[in-house]
Chains A and B, each alone.
Chain A
Amino acid sequence: MRRDIFQAIADPTRRAIITLIALQAMTPNAIADNFHTTRQSVSKHLRILTECELVKQEQQGREIYYSLEIEKMKEIDQWLNQFRKIWETRFNQLDDVLSTLKKQKK
């Protein structure tokens, strides 16, 4: 099942996992060591993150390592940036209004 990227960051544990593996690729056990939760629960989160294509798995010997897809994270940033952009546009327009007002006062 293909999931949406925003589902990935909807959960605090998943956000914590993202932060962890942003630094280095990790095995599920190593990731689970960082949480007061079951190994099963971490596996479930990793599965969702993988389905969102936000993390990738890599087999190294007998272990599977999870790492972050940086490009995917950028999608989230871009989405947010649109809102910032709206306000930026508004305020640039307001700068013009203010400068016109200033001239009228003189």
Chain B
Amino acid sequence: MKTDLLFDFTVDKASKTVHIKREFNAELSLVWDAFTKAELIDQWIAPKPMISKTKYQDFKVGGKRFYAMVSPDGNERWALQEYTSITPKTNFKMHNAFADKDENPELPGSEWDHNFIEENGATIVNIIIYNESLERLERILDGFTQGMKMSLSNLETLLATLSKK
């Protein structure tokens, strides 16, 4: 069993883009399911001790997934994803935005592009997140890491360091 799975994570401030690349020790169809079926997404997308709870999902172009990240103290952070493009087992794109519990999104959100490639029985997933704001990154972090109290303007610059890498 392969254990040294490829993992890249880079952030580019200039283009407000996050690149994430990861290899999985499974065939493409399984990985595709894990990224596109709510009951599977909920099992891994929330970093413990958070849990992910999908209220509903309609995986088709124009369809949505409305879900919450729930912290151990029961605090719910809702977000709304809208699928903008789907090429089965190859690519899907979505718009992701924080929302209130009544599904009102806080715009603008970010654009997520997922690419899936099978290679020698393993699957490589490339995720590109466009227009990711530092505020959003910070809010994701918040709730599971304590003590991060950087101001927004400070966060703006986070992406700068990695833009050189």
Contacts and interface: CB of A to CB of B under 8 A. Distances in A.
B154 A4 contact: yes
Interface stretch (B24-32, B94-102, B112-120): B24-32
Interface string B126-157: 00000000000100110011001011011111
Given A83-B9, A91-B7, A96-B44, A7 B154 contact: yes
B148 A6 contact: no
A94 B24 contact: yes
Per DSSP, are chain A's interface residues mostly helix, strand or loop, or mixed? helix
Interface string A70-106: 0000001101101110111111011111110110010
B134 to A, nearest CB: 9
Interface residues of A, number: 30
B47 A79 contact: no
Question: Which of A4, A82, A98 has the largest count of B CB atoms less than 10 A from its CB?
Answer: A98
Interface of A: 4-7, 9-10, 15, 76-77, 79-80, 82-84, 86-91, 93-99, 101-102, 105
Interface of B: 5, 7, 9, 11, 20, 22, 24-26, 30-31, 33-34, 40, 43-48, 137, 140-141, 144-145, 148, 150-151, 153-158, 160-162, 164
